[in-house]
A and B are shown apart, each in its own frame.
Chain A
């Protein structure tokens, strides 16, 4: 009979081996990150997890993660954006000119820069969405254009330093009213609070799903996964607190992560983006305005590129013509390592973030180990290929 493969393998809800099989991707990714961290922790004789290094790790990868959030949406919608590196460099340059050369207030300058990012995203998304020009080409053009404009704005030289208030975006830490000498109490409390809130919301969400009879994650898995997760957050915040506390940029990053995770998994907007990438024709015939949605994802990407540009500029404390060079590759790689599909419709925010951290930890760990920049790139390239191969293999199985 032609009736169905789904019938053939009835999946008892709660069967843990069946569940693991279906969700291997998600757990596999997290386990890979943990494995890579442990590996480098051992190989670097414990340097990786030293509070100073951990703080640097976050600061070094924050702008990649911010852009990965936007890139994930673009990739899920079935497109790609190659211009993000150039755009972030250009926006950083504009910020420097406004703040350093025109002495503009840093809040106003930041807002102008974010708006500029939106306009740039719109200018590129317009051609992709309404004229159906492949995003690869449009953003390749954008990559050249904004790289050139960044050079023009800076007139070939570096501009800096930025006002101190603006630098705090990247180099500041959340204040500590308890003035702990060896331990930033405030940061620790914030970290523990975060872990508790996460645990609580997960438990509530699960209770809600169980009530409707729609949860099939085995209890053991649920408990172990979330305890490990909450434990990791608590441990990291303890480590960070023993140095200078939680960096400001980490808070920005976490907030954005929460917002984007919520939007992609819980809202109609997110749902529609997945439908657009999964089957554009079906999405259109279901009443989704696919063109406008594509347009919006590019505007969003532009704004996040601008934010990343600001973070990067604030971290270096100067805007240089070379800023943003090659960022797009790391950002795109993060999304694909995180399980996004090049053909659209598949990918998770958390996946992209973990993907970015995998890249970041490898960069950091290999540098500490003294591996040259040459072989670092070779290894990163192979990891990207391997991750995508595993995905394709799992899908065809």
Chain B
């Protein structure tokens, strides 16, 4: 029987009254690879931030004991001192520094502030050997691929006498060879007695290396499975991941679907910075009149990239493919052109990309269609006020008047302002990217009602969401996007969370 290295009991954590973790228990044995799985928003990352001290002791409820000691971490440095090291999905390397400099960043091999480069280089060489990487310690990080960078992160962790290594989606941006190399390294580390927590969506990888699995759902532990005692089927994991009751949280609607209005053909997009990486790989898509089409997929599947590249090419480069409206090819090369042909894109990041927060509701409402409230380029404030006031009433935006600054509104009301802005541009096709992210339940229902209303008016709605119940509750058809390509399509009748999740987690295998 192995010893318990880490035990987390009854972890609870909330943000501004919204519960992120309600009751999480996690036990990791020494020398074990422990996988944590769960949907987007299940609380995996939050849990790891609690463990690594990003949220200091006292900020959460519950107890953590590591190597038999109660831990009260005040920051990352405390947890690192104990030997708990986390490698985030977004790598934390400085691109223009060398491998050696990165590995010993914040932990420099120095005497009285003077760096001992010889010792740094020798130690780096040793560490690189451990992760079987044949690079010179003086190579700049920017010259390495993502896979190798991941290995550098692990080497950096090894330099700090790691006892428990946490990897957050380490293979998300790696190709198959790099992924295999990484998993092989994890197995090697296990042989050396280093325990590892692996957060991943890829069930095939998990079944390859994991000794135990903890499933999180809605901020609570729903299952702890021991892979050594019995074989765990993927079905069983998926069921645990999604097994949630569908309550009556969506407005009733009777779809009235007409002819095809919006079509995208053979859409290909390359990564904004890395021109050789294709992020959208030949997507075909159509939306009919009055139809709500959902796009499901995990983070990083390319959903936002797809939407933004269509909407005025605001993402990516080397874009090819056709956009058709009513069967005619249209030019969506700039945002203005996309708006002119009847497209609207409601961003997933309303604060970053949706609103000018310092300005008022009225100001933001008309921003995408100033022409309609001005004559000869002079804005008619009376007309603007009326338009904004109309939308405020119609969408039930809660504020004293339309001159309230949007920064003071709640998430739900801000989202309604963004929706007003795009409804005022009078689009035929609305692309909604995570329309209910960070909004409380009551406001969500209101947003759903607005979306249903739009569809019944004959608009085409393309809805991107990470919340599967929301897609199942609202959409007439759901397309599943994974790694830049559609891997499945379900009608409302045949779709289920299990089927969607299965199509995602199995698509990498074949």
Contacts and interface: CB of A to CB of B under 8 A. Distances in A.
Chains A and B are bound partners: yes
Given A2-B440, A6-B398, A281-B352, A268 B409 contact: no
B487 interface: no
A73 to B, nearest CB: 16
Interface in A1-41: 1-7, 10-11, 13
B358 A269 contact: no
A211 B408 CA distance: 27
B370 A4 contact: no
A209 interface: yes
Contacts of B402: 214
B81 interface: no
Interface string A261-304: 00000111101101100110111111111000000000000000
Nearest to B406: A6
Given A214-B385, A278-B359, A345-B358, A287 B335 contact: yes
A216 interface: yes
Given A272-B370, A289-B336, A7 B399 contact: yes
B398 A286 contact: no
Interface string B342-354: 0001010000111
A346 interface: yes
A208 interface: yes
A6 B404 contact: yes
A271 B356 CA distance: 11
Contacts of B338: 287
A3 B412 contact: yes
Contacts of A7: 398-400
Interface string A190-231: 000000000000000000110110101000000000000000
Contacts of B359: 274-275, 278, 345
Contacts of B345: 285
Contact of A1 (B312, B374, B378, B440): B440
Contacts of A2: 16-18, 410-412, 440
B382 A4 contact: no
Contact of B353 (A11, A208, A282): A282
A339 to B, nearest CB: 13
Contacts of A269: 377
Contacts, number: 125
Interface residues of B, number: 50
A239 B357 CA distance: 44
B370 A271 contact: yes
Contacts of B353: 279, 281-282, 285
Interface string A334-351: 000000000001100000
Contacts of B379: 266-268, 271
Contact of B410 (A4, A267, A278): A4
A211 B385 CA distance: 11
A279 B349 CA distance: 12
A3 B410 contact: yes
Nearest to A2: B440
A1 B440 CA distance: 8
Contact of A279 (B16, B357, B368, B404): B357
A286 B382 contact: no
Nearest to B311: A285
A299 B358 CA distance: 27
B413 A4 contact: yes
Contacts of A275: 356, 359, 367
A268 B375 CA distance: 9
A282 B353 CA distance: 4
Contacts of A272: 370
A279 B358 CA distance: 9
A243 B115 CA distance: 73
B382 A212 contact: yes
B339 interface: yes
Pick from B336, B363, B377, B440 the residue with the most CB of A within 10 Å. B377
Interface in A236-262: none
Given A278-B359, A285-B347, A289-B336, A216 B374 contact: no
Nearest to A268: B370
Interface string A312-354: 0000000000000000000000000000000001100000000
Nearest to A211: B382
B358 A346 contact: yes
Nearest to B405: A6
Nearest to A343: B358
B400 A11 contact: yes
Pick from B356, B370, B401 the residue with the most CB of A within 10 Å. B356
12 contacts: A2-B18, A2-B411, A3-B412, A4-B410, A6-B398, A209-B381, A267-B378, A271-B367, A271-B370, A283-B356, A285-B353, A345-B359
Given A6-B413, A282-B367, 13 more contacts: A3-B440, A4-B410, A6-B404, A10-B400, A208-B382, A266-B379, A268-B374, A268-B379, A271-B370, A278-B358, A286-B421, A287-B338, A345-B358
